[in-house]
Amino acid sequence: MLQQLEGSRAVAETVARCRPEVVCAYPISPQTHIIEAIGAMVKDGRLAPCEFINVESEYAAMSVSIGASAAGARTYTATASQGLLFMIEAVYNAAGLGLPVVMTLANRAIGAPINIWNDHSDAMAVRDAGWIQLFAETNQEAADLHVQAFRLAETLSVPVMVCMDGFILTHAVEAVDLIDQAVVDSFLPPYEPRQVLDPDDPVSIGAMVGPEAFEEVRYLAHLRQLDALELIPEVAEEFAALTGRVSGGLLHPYRLEDADTVIVAMGSVLGTIKDAVDARRGAGERVGVLGVTAFRPFPVAAVADALAGARRVIVVEKAFSLGMGGVLATDVATASPASGHDLATVVAGLGGRPITRRDVEGILERSAQGTLPRLSFLNLDDDVVARERARMAASRRSGPFAENVLRDLATGGAHR
């Protein structure tokens, strides 16, 4: 039954139906509504037997999750941005130990300058940590992905991060069909750990591994990611058979048949891009969209397949590697056939800057005219940048540049 629900509420209700046994989190916008809702459900006994632990930091949140998962509990947490970075050592550790923790990442920019709005910098910062990273396009998909995430995590003994755009999804109210408890129960068997801390069968977990075996251990973890490439679509298909909903999987191709220009993107911006593509299709252009749902493991072969017919590929991404360029774009380039197509990266939506349908159409126009550079920044205010560069050149003590830019904007460029 469709209900008007905030994205965070939809996720919380869905996680609840996954019957977590330990939930531990530390508040950070835009993740707060999710854990507040789950916390309340645990407190009023609705989720019993489930423990909700209020901790003193994200580092503790992930560490508690590690202990709980190693002791055999189905474990959930959520964070964003600075919180993810604060727990990063434990994020790697959870994956290294093969613990199937599920975490929602309410994608948000990383400071400095501090910024609470959406982009994908946080997810990109842990792309090599060994977690499966799935990106939700809508609130419906965000909710559904959590059920699939527990299934994937526990089958493979790999932690899974469900990435959903902060505010744009977490705080948006839209129609969501919450999954029935009975469906979740049939889809998600009780967690049977591969390794568990048990006094009746004591094992040592977390030993030092030297050069004699480290490579093999890491390679085995890589193989589990490759296994995930097989399992993710299977799980999504099974989910679709039960619910009738297409959520998850590796990729979301849209109007790719005969497309010679394809935009690749992740997350909620896909909706906007699809609208733009519909409009251009209406004008007779052969354009399409490739939504990447599974960013880790990255579906190299499937992406190569999907882009095989394209002449121009444009990666629109909400993050970039400073001094280099696109992150998703680099992976897409790896997947692109050697003969290749033109590949352009458009960095967009940083720190919550809106990406409109008109913006996307503009990108497509420039691409068609051959004026889209290899790397560009959407709606970058070149004048502001030039003025700050000038201030820096004029004075050694030009001051903090973020604050200069804000003052510059407030004074319409009059700030010296």
> Nearer to other proteins by C-beta: 51 or 285?
51
Cross-strand pairs, 256: none
Kindly indicate which of the ranges 2-10, 191-199, 225-233, 339-347 contains the residues binding other proteins, using the contact rule CB under 8 A.
191-199
Position 370 contacts other proteins (CB under 8 A)? no
How many residues of this chain bind other proteins (CB under 8 A)?
41
Contacts with 49 (C-beta within 8 Å, 6 or more apart), sequence order: 21
Residue with tokens 């251009």: 280
> Nearer to other proteins by C-beta: 63 or 404?
63
- For 372, counting Cβ atoms within 10 Å of its Cβ (0-12 exposed, 13-18 middle, 19+ buried), the class is buried
Position 216 contacts other proteins (CB under 8 A)? no
Distance, CA of 211 to CA of 213 (rounded, Å): 5
> Nearer to other proteins by C-beta: 23 or 37?
23
Kindly indicate which of the ranges 85-93, 218-226, 302-310, 376-384 contains the residues binding other proteins, using the contact rule CB under 8 A.
85-93
Quick one: which H or E segment has residue 395?
A: none
> Nearer to other proteins by C-beta: 65 or 272?
65
Angle (CA) 353 357 358, round 5°: 90
Contacts to other proteins from residues 6-45, by CB under 8 A: 21-22, 24
Position 348 contacts other proteins (CB under 8 A)? no
Cross-strand pairs, 251: 292
Kindly indicate which of the ranges 8-16, 49-57, 139-147, 408-416 contains the residues binding other proteins, using the contact rule CB under 8 A.
49-57
Angle (CA) 232 267 91, round 5°: 65
**Of positions 203, 283, 322, 414, contacts other proteins by CB under 8 A:** 203
Distance, CA of 248 to CA of 242 (rounded, Å): 14
Provide the sign of the torsion angle of the four alpha carbons 105, 106, 108, 110, taken in this order: negative
Position 220 contacts other proteins (CB under 8 A)? no
Through-space distance between the first and last CA atoms of the chain, rounded to whole angstroms? 58
Kindly indicate which of the ranges 64-72, 141-149, 219-227, 292-300 contains the residues binding other proteins, using the contact rule CB under 8 A.
64-72
**Of positions 73, 80, 228, 316, contacts other proteins by CB under 8 A:** 73
Position 78 contacts other proteins (CB under 8 A)? no
> Nearer to other proteins by C-beta: 42 or 378?
42
> Nearer to other proteins by C-beta: 28 or 68?
68
4: left (phi over 0), alpha (psi -120 to 50) or beta: beta
AA identity, residue 46: R
AA identity, residue 315: V
Give contact residues for other proteins (rule: CB under 8 A): 21-22, 24, 49-51, 53-57, 59-60, 63-73, 75, 89-90, 93, 97, 197-199, 201-209
